[in-house]
Structure 1
Amino acid sequence: MRRNQEETNETIRKLIEVGRTHFTERGYADTALEDIVNEAEMTRGALYHHFGNKKGLFRVVFESVQKEIAERIETEAAASEDLWQQLLLGCRAFVAAAVEPRNKRILLLDGPAVLGWEMWRMTDEQNSMRLLHEQLQFMQRQGCFKPVTIEAMTHFISGALNESALWIAHHPEQRHALDDTMKVISLFMEGFKR
């Protein structure tokens, strides 16, 4: 029984890995399931069994990208002991990860179009936005902010980061655009300091 579960997990992992490569390189619309299953050395039946269809596979790939970015945010924010610096490092980590070639098309371009805005937002709320909210709540308890509603602040900053990521993703000089974005975010956050 254990061997069957290991084989199942390996099948799922392989399909997600190959699917991510195809969705990244070709986009959702130009990705063929036949190409994925051939490269993964699986059958269409295995893909349909575990994911239902192409959109189901894409949703799982999208969620895995969101989780990876959330892990990166936590890691990079933890590089500082200073709460403000943690916040800024986390914001930068999100935007930088979102515009990376292996994430950009899945997260920013195809994600909202294929899954719909509500699914996109729900997945964001469970990952990056959740981390932002937790950091802001902790900072508020430490007396870092002027009196503000953390819920509104979370949505405001998250929206700004998402829009900035879209802008940077299409900018010819992404590094420069990321630096400019972080300057604006830093100045914005200064206004909330107690």
Structure 2
Amino acid sequence: MQQKSGRRSNRDRTEATRADLIAAARKLFTEKSYAETGTPEIVAAAGVTRGALYHHFADKQALFAAVVEQEAAVVAEEIERASPPSLFARDALIAGSDAYLAAMRAPGRTRLLLLDGPAVLGRAAMDEIDNRHGNRTLREGLVAAMRAQSMVKLPVEALTALFAAAFDRAALAVDAGASADDYRAVLMALIDGLSPVPHQAPRPARTR
């Protein structure tokens, strides 16, 4: 029993070291960017040795990939939390869209996922990460809306890719200072524009 407990303790320490490295790297990558962050800074911030870093990750890029994967998973979790199965398909799609835009306003997240991610890991690797997380939730929402006949049926992969690009562009624009309300209004219009019976935007109140 003592030997088994020791194995658990070693595993816990290993997982804790890995988590500390990812947390320290995330903070530095979001504050300074990937290019401006060195491994000595990361190990110092994590309170571990360089040997510990290279025990868990082949190099800085591999650590960066782990940070991006975790960050993408967090965004997907926030989307799923905001759009439970109990919602109507269209309402869930809109709630998930709002959750994505809100999640991407976390400091440094747009640079991490939308700028440094593709630049460092490559577009293909970044697409794989997206497809496991944010794009997966978007695809599920679009499929549900089409099945519920609240959205016209279109090729799902192409639709997911184009909607994802639109949401990413909105997140980048908002991060740069553009009006979040303006971009949300356009994105909602895109969603409603694919409805078999388009939803009409409320008319502005008349002023005297």
For normalisation by structure 1, the TM-score amounts to: 0.91
Which amino acid in 1 is paired with 2:185? K
> Which residue is 1:57 aligned to?
63
Contact 2:93 2:145 in 1 (8 A): no
Query: In the aligned structure 1, how far is the partner of 2:181 from the partner of 2:85?
Result: 19
| Pair 1:2-2:8 in alignment | yes
> Which residue is 1:158 aligned to?
164
Which has a greater percent of helix? 1
Contact 1:69 1:128 in 2 (8 A): yes
User: Compared with structure 1, are the counterparts of its residues 183 and 80 closer, same or farther at alpha carbon in structure 2 (3 Å cutoff)?
Assistant: farther
Deviation string, structure 1 residues 127-180 (Cα, Å, up to 9, x no partner) = 111111111112222222223222222122111111222222212x5xxx2211
Aligned with 1:188 (options 182, 187, 190)? 190
Query: In the aligned structure 1, how far is the partner of 2:17 from the partner of 2:136?
Result: 30
Shift in Å at residue 80 of structure 1?
7.0
Contact 1:111 1:120 in 2 (8 A): yes
For the residue of structure 2 that corresponds to 1:101, the secondary structure is coil
Which portions of structure 1, spanning 4 or more consecutive aligned residues, are displaced by more than 6 angstroms? none
Query: In the aligned structure 1, how far is the partner of 2:122 from the partner of 2:75?
Result: 20
Count of residues in Structure 1 that have an aligned counterpart in Structure 2? 190
> Which residue is 1:179 aligned to?
181
> Which residue is 1:125 aligned to?
131
Aligned with 2:79 (options 66, 73, 87)? 73
**Structure 1: gaps (5+ residues):** none
After superposition, the CA RMSD in angstroms is: 1.7
User: Relative contact order: is structure 1 or structure 2 higher (C-alpha 8 Å, sep ≥ 6)?
Assistant: 1
Which amino acid in 1 is paired with 2:26? R
For the residue of structure 1 that corresponds to 2:143, the secondary structure is helix
Contact 2:89 2:148 in 1 (8 A): no
Which amino acid in 2 is paired with 1:15? L
Deviation string, structure 1 residues 95-137 (Cα, Å, up to 9, x no partner) = 2222321412211221111111111111111111111111111
Query: In the aligned structure 1, how far is the partner of 2:36 from the partner of 2:76?
Result: 28
Structure index of larger Rg: 2
Contact 1:145 1:193 in 2 (8 A): yes
User: Compared with structure 1, are the counterparts of its residues 99 and 112 closer, same or farther at alpha carbon in structure 2 (3 Å cutoff)?
Assistant: farther
**Identity percentage over the alignment?**
36
Shift in Å at residue 41 of structure 1?
1.6
